[in-house]
Structure 1
Amino acid sequence: MPGCRAVVSAPGISDLATSVRQSDEWGRVTTRIRMGWQHIGFRLYRGNVLLLSPTSLDLEEQ
Protein backbone atom coordinates (compact mmCIF):
# COMPACT_ATOMS: atom_id res chain seq x y z
CA MET A 1 0.00 0.00 0.00
CA PRO A 2 1.42 3.42 -0.86
CA GLY A 3 2.74 5.20 2.22
CA CYS A 4 3.08 2.04 4.32
CA ARG A 5 6.17 2.42 6.47
CA ALA A 6 6.19 -0.77 8.51
CA VAL A 7 4.48 -4.13 8.96
CA VAL A 8 4.41 -5.64 12.45
CA SER A 9 3.75 -9.24 13.43
CA ALA A 10 3.62 -11.13 16.73
CA PRO A 11 3.74 -14.75 15.56
CA GLY A 12 2.17 -17.51 17.58
CA ILE A 13 -0.75 -19.88 17.85
CA SER A 14 -4.13 -18.17 17.54
CA ASP A 15 -6.20 -20.93 19.18
CA LEU A 16 -5.53 -20.23 22.86
CA ALA A 17 -8.30 -22.59 23.98
CA THR A 18 -5.93 -25.54 23.72
CA SER A 19 -3.52 -26.62 26.41
CA VAL A 20 -0.58 -25.99 24.06
CA ARG A 21 0.08 -22.57 25.64
CA GLN A 22 1.15 -24.16 28.92
CA SER A 23 3.44 -26.73 27.34
CA ASP A 24 6.97 -26.72 25.92
CA GLU A 25 5.30 -27.16 22.55
CA TRP A 26 4.17 -23.49 22.66
CA GLY A 27 7.76 -22.21 22.60
CA ARG A 28 8.81 -24.64 19.87
CA VAL A 29 5.89 -23.76 17.60
CA THR A 30 6.25 -20.00 18.17
CA THR A 31 9.96 -20.21 17.37
CA ARG A 32 9.29 -22.05 14.09
CA ILE A 33 6.65 -19.51 13.06
CA ARG A 34 9.02 -16.63 13.90
CA MET A 35 11.80 -18.25 11.85
CA GLY A 36 9.44 -18.46 8.86
CA TRP A 37 8.62 -14.74 9.09
CA GLN A 38 12.30 -13.88 9.47
CA HIS A 39 13.05 -15.91 6.34
CA ILE A 40 10.97 -13.48 4.25
CA GLY A 41 12.52 -10.35 5.74
CA PHE A 42 10.93 -9.64 9.12
CA ARG A 43 13.43 -8.68 11.82
CA LEU A 44 13.09 -9.21 15.56
CA TYR A 45 12.15 -5.91 17.18
CA ARG A 46 11.43 -6.67 20.81
CA GLY A 47 10.15 -9.73 22.67
CA ASN A 48 8.08 -11.72 20.16
CA VAL A 49 7.38 -8.71 17.90
CA LEU A 50 8.75 -8.71 14.36
CA LEU A 51 9.06 -5.66 12.11
CA LEU A 52 9.28 -5.45 8.32
CA SER A 53 10.11 -2.46 6.21
CA PRO A 54 8.20 -2.64 2.89
CA THR A 55 11.20 -1.05 1.16
CA SER A 56 13.58 -3.74 2.43
CA LEU A 57 15.73 -5.39 -0.20
CA ASP A 58 15.37 -8.67 1.74
CA LEU A 59 11.65 -8.65 0.93
CA GLU A 60 12.30 -8.04 -2.77
CA GLU A 61 14.83 -10.91 -2.92
CA GLN A 62 12.41 -13.39 -1.30
Structure 2
Amino acid sequence: MPHGLFDKIKDLTTSASTIMNISEQAFFVFVRENELDNIGVAGRILADKAVNNPLKSEE
Protein backbone atom coordinates (compact mmCIF):
# COMPACT_ATOMS: atom_id res chain seq x y z
CA MET A 1 0.00 0.00 0.00
CA PRO A 2 1.43 3.41 -0.94
CA HIS A 3 2.58 5.38 2.11
CA GLY A 4 0.03 8.21 1.88
CA LEU A 5 -2.91 5.97 0.98
CA PHE A 6 -3.45 4.79 4.57
CA ASP A 7 -3.61 8.40 5.76
CA LYS A 8 -6.10 9.34 3.04
CA ILE A 9 -8.35 6.39 3.89
CA LYS A 10 -8.19 7.23 7.59
CA ASP A 11 -8.93 10.93 6.96
CA LEU A 12 -11.85 10.11 4.68
CA THR A 13 -13.31 7.67 7.19
CA THR A 14 -12.92 10.10 10.09
CA SER A 15 -14.48 12.97 8.15
CA ALA A 16 -17.41 10.91 6.91
CA SER A 17 -18.02 9.55 10.39
CA THR A 18 -18.04 13.06 11.88
CA ILE A 19 -20.25 14.58 9.19
CA MET A 20 -22.79 11.75 9.19
CA ASN A 21 -22.56 10.99 12.91
CA ILE A 22 -22.02 7.30 12.20
CA SER A 23 -19.37 5.04 13.67
CA GLU A 24 -16.13 4.70 11.67
CA GLN A 25 -16.66 0.92 11.70
CA ALA A 26 -19.70 1.39 9.46
CA PHE A 27 -17.62 2.74 6.54
CA PHE A 28 -15.92 0.79 3.79
CA VAL A 29 -13.42 2.56 1.53
CA PHE A 30 -12.59 1.01 -1.82
CA VAL A 31 -9.62 2.37 -3.74
CA ARG A 32 -9.63 1.75 -7.45
CA GLU A 33 -7.00 3.62 -9.38
CA ASN A 34 -7.75 4.37 -13.02
CA GLU A 35 -5.47 5.46 -15.83
CA LEU A 36 -6.04 9.08 -16.90
CA ASP A 37 -7.12 7.94 -20.37
CA ASN A 38 -10.00 5.98 -18.78
CA ILE A 39 -11.55 9.10 -17.22
CA GLY A 40 -13.60 11.75 -18.98
CA VAL A 41 -14.18 15.27 -17.67
CA ALA A 42 -16.31 17.85 -19.45
CA GLY A 43 -16.40 15.73 -22.60
CA ARG A 44 -12.62 15.31 -22.78
CA ILE A 45 -10.21 12.58 -21.76
CA LEU A 46 -8.42 13.60 -18.58
CA ALA A 47 -5.04 12.47 -19.96
CA ASP A 48 -5.37 14.99 -22.81
CA LYS A 49 -6.09 17.79 -20.35
CA ALA A 50 -3.09 16.82 -18.20
CA VAL A 51 -0.72 16.67 -21.18
CA ASN A 52 -1.84 20.01 -22.60
CA ASN A 53 -1.71 21.91 -19.31
CA PRO A 54 -0.83 19.86 -16.23
CA LEU A 55 -0.81 22.72 -13.72
CA LYS A 56 -3.58 25.09 -14.81
CA SER A 57 -7.22 24.19 -14.29
CA GLU A 58 -9.65 25.03 -17.06
CA GLU A 59 -12.29 27.66 -16.41
Instruction: Please say whether Structure 1 and Structure 2 have the same fold, judged by a TM-score greater than 0.5.
Output: no
Q: What is the TM-score of this pair, normalised by structure 1?
A: 0.35
**Higher normalized strand content (fraction of residues):** 1
Q: Which has the larger radius of gyration?
A: 2
Q: What is the TM-score of this pair, normalised by structure 2?
A: 0.36
**Higher normalized helix content (fraction of residues):** 2
